[in-house]
Amino acid sequence: MQVAVIILAAGKGKRMHSELPKVLHRILGRSMLSYVLDAASELKTFRTVVVTGHGSSQVKEQLNGKGLRFAYQGEQLGTGHAVLCARKLLANYQGDVLIINGDTPLICKETINDFTTRHKDSKSVLSILSTVLDEPEGYGRISRSSRGDIKKVVEEKDATAKEKQISEINAGVYCVDSAFLWNALENLNPNNVQHEYYLPDIVDFAINSGENVNAVMTRHSDEVLGVNTRAELAAVETKLRNRKNNRLMDGGVTIIDPSSTYITPDVRIGVDTVIYPNAHILGDCSIGWGCEIGPSVWIEDSVIGHNVLIRFNCHIVKASISNYVSVGPFANLRPETVVHSKAKIGSFVEIKKSNIGHGSKVPHLSYVGDASVGEGVNIGAGTITCNYDGFSKHKTVIDDNAFIGSDTMLVAPVRVGKGATTGAGSTITKDVPEGSLAVERSKQVEIKGWSRKPKKSKA
Ligand code: UD1
Ligand code: CA
């Protein structure tokens, strides 16, 4: 079954008190809108139209290149008016239109797929997704006849005291025949408390035109939570986080304290990996099996192999780490760091845009930037690759099995050959040939009988 999709995302989100358009607020590192788009991603779509208004250029910029079309709603005259703004972009389309509010990021693919199938089976011109909430305040209520047929949707602000007691609410998801939709929208009027063109009023219109309306009630009431305030944003984030953590645990990952573990939806983690509290694992990350991660780590857009140990307080961004590596505590691995298998990155080490070869060690207090480090290399404590001369960055090459003495300054561009050694405290400015020792420091002098002068007494 093919549908056209309209996502409503033009509202300012007044209750957020924000400069940012509501639908761009981030949940676990991704915009609210991206979750809604995901929910419709399994459908066969004719076209997906996002209706933008507030912060329209920002919204478009974020969604650029995703094959979407954008309709512009200059003035926010209501959800019904917003849908009408998408009409031009669907002028030569006939069939069902799926409409989703852009501020319901918990809605799942399965629910959307099931809803559209049930719409098709019902042969109605209009289906609307509903659910029952313990706290329905703020939502449009589904008003039904004594026979149980849907009559209309009443917005909270327009509802009578009796209607406010209804606990079945409108989820903000609709499937509707295009010809009926455009006709119904043209017949909307803003005779309500908010003086807006309400999309749910098409229910009323359908019934008055003698059409069947199919209200599909979902049991998954936690999927319909709309985000209107920052508190709701936080509540939705917690739900999405739990959803992800539960999926990982079901798949064989140990999470010591799910309530303090922040893992974004696209992260992949292998079995028997243990995640300690306060781990942030974000974006496009994959972590293999049998790893120990944390506590208190930040890992973003990185690939981590199997049996890797990431200790306390590491910060890892756009890095790639192979099997059996240990990192930290307190290590900072910056973009384009590649650590090969069985290497060790120790405490207070910063690495940027560098390769660390198989089995090599950078155990303590070093900066390695723009470097290529071979296999079996040992880098002594306090070593620095001096990669920047104030104008440009230069490369350091350290070949296999070299031994870099503690506190070596490697002034790039420079190369330390295979098996070569540098003496502790040396400032290396020239290439060190294979197998040789480079020492750069003044000779130690001993001054016999020298002692510090005793302090003069004040008296
Ligand atoms: C809406 C529904 C309500 C439902 C609830 C579910 C209406 C009138 N009411 O209420 O029945 O229970 O969603 O969450 O539809 N938008 C536009 N242009 C506008 C107005 C809104 O694009 O002129 C967009 C918003 O950006 C938002 C969505 O439509 O993504 C819903 O708007 P919102 O103002 O949040 O509606 P609710 O009051 O939550
Ligand atoms: Ca809303």
Task: Compute the average pLDDT of residues 302-327.
Answer: 98
CATH 3.90.550.10 domain extents, the chain: 2-224
Cα 90 to middle of ligand 2, angstroms: 24
Cα 226 to middle of ligand 2, angstroms: 5
454 pLDDT tier (thresholds 50, 70, 90): confident
Cα 354 to middle of ligand 1, angstroms: 49
Select from 259, 265, 302 the least CA-distant residue to 279. Answer: 259
Question: How many Å apart are CA 170 and CA 149, to the nearest integer?
Answer: 15
Predicted pLDDT at 458: 67
Which atom of ligand 1 is found nearest the CA of 155? Answer: 11
CATH number corresponding to 244-438 = 2.160.10.10
> What ligand has the least distance to the C-alpha of 156?
1
Please state whether 324 falls in left (phi above 0), alpha (psi between -120 and 50) or beta.
left
At residue 434, does pLDDT exceed 70? yes
Predicted pLDDT at 453: 79
Residue nearest (by alpha carbon) to ligand 1 atom 37: 139
From residue 87, alpha-carbon distances to 90, 266, 424 in Å are 5, 34, 73
Write the pLDDT tens digit of every residue in 255-264. 999 999 999 9
At residue 456, does pLDDT exceed 80? no
Which atom of ligand 1 is found nearest the CA of 172? Answer: 6
Predicted pLDDT at 65: 87
Cα 159 to middle of ligand 1, angstroms: 16
Q: What is the DSSP letter of 410?
A: E
Residue nearest (by alpha carbon) to ligand 1 atom 7: 198
> What ligand has the least distance to the C-alpha of 190?
1
Write the pLDDT tens digit of every residue in 353-386. 999 999 999 999 999 999 999 999 999 999 999 9
Question: How many Å apart are CA 200 and CA 152, to the nearest integer?
Answer: 8
Q: H-type helices in 331-445, by residue range?
A: none
Task: Compute the average pLDDT of residues 132-148.
Answer: 96
Predicted pLDDT at 178: 98
Write the pLDDT tens digit of every residue in 231-241. 999 999 999 99
* Average of per-residue pLDDT values in the chain: 96
To the nearest 10°, report the CA torsion of 42, 43, 49, 51.
Answer: -70
CATH superfamily placement of domain 2-224:
Spore Coat Polysaccharide Biosynthesis Protein SpsA; Chain A (3.90.550.10)
Predicted pLDDT at 459: 60
Question: How many Å apart are CA 391 and CA 303, to the nearest integer?
Answer: 32
Which atom of ligand 1 is found nearest the CA of 104? Answer: 14
At residue 334, does pLDDT exceed 70? yes
At residue 278, does pLDDT exceed 80? yes
Which atom of ligand 1 is found nearest the CA of 52? Answer: 22
Residue nearest (by alpha carbon) to ligand 1 atom 28: 101
Task: Compute the average pLDDT of residues 13-21.
Answer: 93
Any residues with Cβ below 6 Å from ligand 1, and which? 8-11, 22-23, 51, 53, 73, 76-79, 81-82, 101-104, 139-140, 153, 155, 169-172, 198-200, 226, 228
Q: Which residues are catalytic?
A: 364
CATH 2.160.10.10 domain extents, the chain: 244-438
Cα 90 to middle of ligand 1, angstroms: 21
At residue 301, does pLDDT exceed 90? yes
- Tell me how far the alpha carbon of residue 335 is from its chain's centroid: 18
Predicted pLDDT at 451: 84
Q: How buried is 88 (Cβ within 10 angstroms: 0-12 exposed, 13-18 middle, 19+ buried)?
A: exposed
